[in-house]
Structure 1
Amino acid sequence: MGVASNEPHLLRAARGEVLSRPPVWMMRQAGRYMKAYRDLREKYPSFRERSEIPEVAIEVSLQPWRAFQPDGVILFSDIVTPLPGIGIEMDIAEGKGPIIHQPIRTIEQVNALRPLNPDESLPFIRTILQALRQEVGNQSTVLGFVGAPWTLAAYAVEGKGSKTYSVIKNMAFSDPTVLHLLLDKLSESIAIYIRHQIDCGAQVVQMFDSWAGQLSPQDYDTFALPYQQKVFAAVKQTHPDTPLILLVSGSAGVLERMGKSGADIVSVDWTVDMADARQRLGKTMKVQGNLDPGVLFGSQEFIRDRIYDTVKKAGNWGHILNLGHGVLPETPEENVAFFFETAKNLNLATV
C-alpha cells in the first residue's frame, strides 16, 4: 500500500480514514440526464452495445468524470450483464430494463447453468476497467458494479422487472428448493465476477440487491442475507483489502440486516434519516448516501441545505456522499454540477 495521502479520496474514506470532507459520486451518474450520453445513445441505440463495446463504455463511464470530477468513477454496466455467461440469455430493452427470454422455472434449467468465466464471456470488462484506472489515476476511485443473488434470481425467474414479484415469491414460498439452488449458483458466479473486477482494476465494488427491499425481514433473512454473506465472504478470502458496498432499494426495514452482510459500507436510501441510520448500523459501519434524487430539482440553496444536513448527521468518518438511488433522467445538469461543486468544497469543520 502506498502513502495514504496519494490514494484517492473515496478509497481512503472507504478504508475508514477521517477526512476533511466526504467523497462524493452519484449512482447512475453516467446516463440519461446528460446530453453527451443522449447523443451517444443516438449512435448506439442498444444498451448492450453501449456497455459491452469497450470504447463506448469507457466513454460513457468517463462523461461525468470529465464534466464534474466525482470522487468515484463507476463501470458503466448492468446487473444482468454476466447472466449470458452462466447460461441465461437476456436483452436490455430501452426504457424497460432487462428481458430474460426463457425465465428459470425448473430444477433442470438451474442444473444446466455453468460457472462464470469472465475473461471468456465478458472480455470487455478487463479492457474497460483497465482503461478507467489509467484515465483517472489517483484523482478518483474506480468502482466495480455487480448484482446480488436475490435480485439476479428475481430477474431470471420473473423474466423481467416486476411490481409484485409474484412469480419468484411463489417459487420462494411454495417450492424453495429450486430457488435456493439458483441462489447458490448465482452466489458463486457473482463472487468470481467481483474478484475479476478487482483484478482488472476496480478499487471498490458495489453490489446492488435492488429488489431485496421487496422481501419481509424474515424472508430477507432466508433468501437475501445468506447469499450476500456468501458472496462477500468469498471475496474477502482472496481480496480482503477491497472495500465492498451493499445497496438495497427501500431498505428502511432491513437496515440492520444489511450491516450483517459482510459489506464494509451500507448504502442508505432517503427513507431513513442519516442520523437514525448511523445509530441503527452502529459505530463501526461505514455508510453511503442518502439524498433523495428529487432534491436535485430544487433550488441551489435547497440542494446545499440538504447536502449539509446529510453530511452533518453522517459525521466526519466513514461516509461517502451519494444519492439514495440513481440520478433521475430529467435532472438539470447544472444542478448536478452544483451538487458536486458544493460537496467538493465542503469542510466538515464548518458544516
Structure 2
Amino acid sequence: MVPPTATAMPVFLSAAPPPFSTRRRRSRLPAISASLSPSPSSSEEPLLVRAARGEDGLPRPPAWMMRQAGRYMAEYQALAKRHPSFRERSENTDLIVEITLQPWRAFAPDGVILFSDILTPLPAIGVPFDISDSKGPVIQSPVRSEGQVRELVPIDLDMLQFVGESLKILRNEVVLVSLHFYATESLVPIDGKAALLGFVGAPWTIATYIVEGGMTNTYTNIKNMCHTAPDVLRCLLSHLAEAISDYIIYQVNSGAQCIQIFDSWGGQLPPHVWEQWSKPYIKKIVNRIKKECPHVPLVLYINGNGGLLERMKDTRVDVIGLDWTVDMADGRKRLGNGISVQGNVDPAFLFSPLPVLTDEIRRSYDINIIVTSVPKIQSDRPSFLLLSLLLLLITNRLLGKQFIFSWPAVSPNLTLVQLTEAAIEFLLSVI
C-alpha cells in the first residue's frame, strides 16, 4: 500500500468472553458462503462483526489486519510488477479481489478488508487525482475557493462500480477456516465465516488532500482556511460528509459487513480544533448510517489519538482504534463501557526476532499495528503474529487463567504450515 492513507495492520478487538467451550467436535463442518442478507441474525454473523457490536459470550476476540495486503507479501510484489499502477490495482475488479484475498489465503484472519484507498471516490465527486511513486497522491487543482467547492458534484456511484462488484464477489468467496480447541487432545480447524470490511476516509482527512493538493507535513492551507475561509471549509466538509455517507451505504449494500472510518490526519489538530472541524462531520456520517444501516458496526481510527479518545466516543461509533502511543488499560478506562476498542502494538515489532514478537503478543490480547508501508517485513511475521495470538487466546480461555505463553526456538523462515505444526505441538505439550 502506498503512503497516502496512513494504513494499519493487525487488529484485535477487545472482548471479555466466558471460558472457551470444551465440548468435543472432531468433524469438519461444510464450508459456508456468506449471503447478502441486510440484517442476518446474530448467530449467523461473523465473529468480528459480533465483537464490534460489543456482544457478550463470544469464544474469543477476533484477529484481523486492517491493511492486510501489501508489499511484505511476495504474491503482492509479483502482481505489482505486472500491474505497476496503484490506480489500476485498486480500481480493477479482478485485481482488487485477488489482492484482497492474498493475505486471507495466507493466514486466515477473522476479517477481510477491501483493497482500496480512501481517495478512490474522489473522481466520483469531481476531484481527479493521480498517484506518483515519489509524491503519493497528487491533485492538480486543489479546492480552496467557494467557486471550486460549488463545482463539486454529488457522488456518482456508477463511477465506483468496481468497488461494488469487488465487494459482492468477495462476500461470496470469503470463508474463514480458523483454529479452535474443542477437546483436551485435539486441535481441529472449523469452517466459519470471515467478516468483509469496507472503509472510508473521514471528511477532514479527505479535505486535507483536496485542499493541500496531496501529501503535506504542515497542513498550512487547510488550517489557514479554518480562520480565513471558515464558511468555504464548512461547505466542503459538509459535501464530503454527504458523499462519504452515500459511499458507505453503497459498500454495505454491496456486501460490506463492517466499516472503518479513517480520520488519519485528525490527530494533527488540537483536541478543541478537532472538536470543531472534524467531529461534527463524522457524527453526520455516523448518524445517517445508524439510521439507514443500523446493523453495520462502525470503527473510528485516528493517528495519534491519545488526546481525543473521549471526544471520539461521542461520535457514537461502535469501535475505537488505539495506536501504540496509548496504553490499552488507560484507553479502556478513559472510554468506559459501551464501546469496543482495538489496539495497540508498535509496528517496529514486526521487524523483531520471533521471541521478541512473542513477548509483545503476550503483553496484550488487543493489538493494532499502525504502519504506512512495510515492504521489508518478512512474510512469516503476520502469520506468526495471528497464529500465536489465536493460540494464546484459546489456551487462556480454555484454562480460565492467564497462561504464560512461550515458544520453543524457531527458525525465522518458518512456513505457515510449519508454524501450525509447531503451534499444535506446543499447545499439546502444555495441556
Q: Given the two structures, how large is their TM-score scaled by the length of structure 2?
A: 0.77
**Corresponding residue for 2:163?**
125
1:213-243 superposed Cα distances (whole Å, 9 cap, x missing partner): 0000111011110010011111111001100
One of 24, 31, 37 as aligned partner of 2:76: 37
Q: Is the 8 A contact 1:274 1:290 kept in 2?
A: yes
- The answer to whether the aligner puts 1:271 opposite 2:325 as a matched pair is yes
Q: Is the 8 A contact 1:28 1:326 kept in 2?
A: no
**Corresponding residue for 1:323?**
369
1:330 Cα deviation from its structure 2 partner: 1.5
- The answer to whether the aligner puts 1:341 opposite 2:379 as a matched pair is no
**Corresponding residue for 1:208?**
262
- The answer to whether the aligner puts 1:240 opposite 2:294 as a matched pair is yes
> What letter is aligned with 1:121?
M
Identity score, percent: 47
**Corresponding residue for 1:59?**
98
- The answer to whether the aligner puts 1:145 opposite 2:199 as a matched pair is yes
Q: Is the 8 A contact 1:30 1:60 kept in 2?
A: yes
Secondary structure in structure 1 of the residue aligned to 2:65: coil
Count of residue pairs the alignment pairs up: 342
Q: Is the 8 A contact 1:171 1:179 kept in 2?
A: yes
**Corresponding residue for 1:194?**
248
> What letter is aligned with 2:368?
N
One of 96, 115, 121 as aligned partner of 1:76: 115
1:72 Cα deviation from its structure 2 partner: 0.9
Q: Is the 8 A contact 1:144 1:204 kept in 2?
A: yes
One of 111, 114, 124 as aligned partner of 1:85: 124
Q: Is the 8 A contact 1:153 1:183 kept in 2?
A: yes
> What letter is aligned with 1:55?
D
One of 199, 209, 234 as aligned partner of 1:180: 234
Unaligned runs of 5+ in 2: 1-38, 176-191, 403-431
Q: Is the 8 A contact 1:50 1:56 kept in 2?
A: yes
- The answer to whether the aligner puts 1:262 opposite 2:354 as a matched pair is no
Query: How far apart, CA to CA, are the structure 2 residues paired with 1:163 and 1:25?
Result: 30
Secondary structure in structure 2 of the residue aligned to 1:253: coil
Query: How far apart, CA to CA, are the structure 2 residues paired with 1:128 and 1:49?
Result: 14
1:3 Cα deviation from its structure 2 partner: 5.5
Q: Is the 8 A contact 1:244 1:263 kept in 2?
A: yes
1:300 Cα deviation from its structure 2 partner: 2.1
Q: Is the 8 A contact 1:225 1:258 kept in 2?
A: yes
Query: How far apart, CA to CA, are the structure 1 residues paired with 2:361 and 2:150?
Result: 48
1:63-98 superposed Cα distances (whole Å, 9 cap, x missing partner): 000001011100100001001000011012235321
One of 147, 151, 163 as aligned partner of 1:112: 151
Relative distance call for 1:199 and 1:3 in structure 2 (3 A) is: closer
1:290 Cα deviation from its structure 2 partner: 1.3
One of 130, 136, 150 as aligned partner of 2:174: 136
1:344 Cα deviation from its structure 2 partner: 2.1
Q: Is the 8 A contact 2:54 2:339 kept in 1?
A: no
1:24 Cα deviation from its structure 2 partner: 1.1
- The answer to whether the aligner puts 1:231 opposite 2:296 as a matched pair is no
1:5 Cα deviation from its structure 2 partner: 4.2
Relative distance call for 1:105 and 1:327 in structure 2 (3 A) is: closer
Query: How far apart, CA to CA, are the structure 1 residues paired with 2:309 and 2:54?
Result: 20
Report which of the two has the higher share of helix. 1
1:5-47 superposed Cα distances (whole Å, 9 cap, x missing partner): 4422211211222323211112321011111111111111111
One of 54, 61, 64 as aligned partner of 1:16: 54
Secondary structure in structure 2 of the residue aligned to 1:142: strand
Q: Is the 8 A contact 1:25 1:322 kept in 2?
A: no
Secondary structure in structure 2 of the residue aligned to 1:269: coil
Query: How far apart, CA to CA, are the structure 1 residues paired with 2:41 and 2:231?
Result: 49
1:159-205 superposed Cα distances (whole Å, 9 cap, x missing partner): 01111111111111222111110000000000000011000000000
Query: How far apart, CA to CA, are the structure 2 residues paired with 1:2 and 1:106?
Result: 45
Relative distance call for 1:107 and 1:3 in structure 2 (3 A) is: closer
Unaligned runs of 5+ in 1: 315-320
Q: Given the two structures, how large is their TM-score scaled by the length of structure 1?
A: 0.94
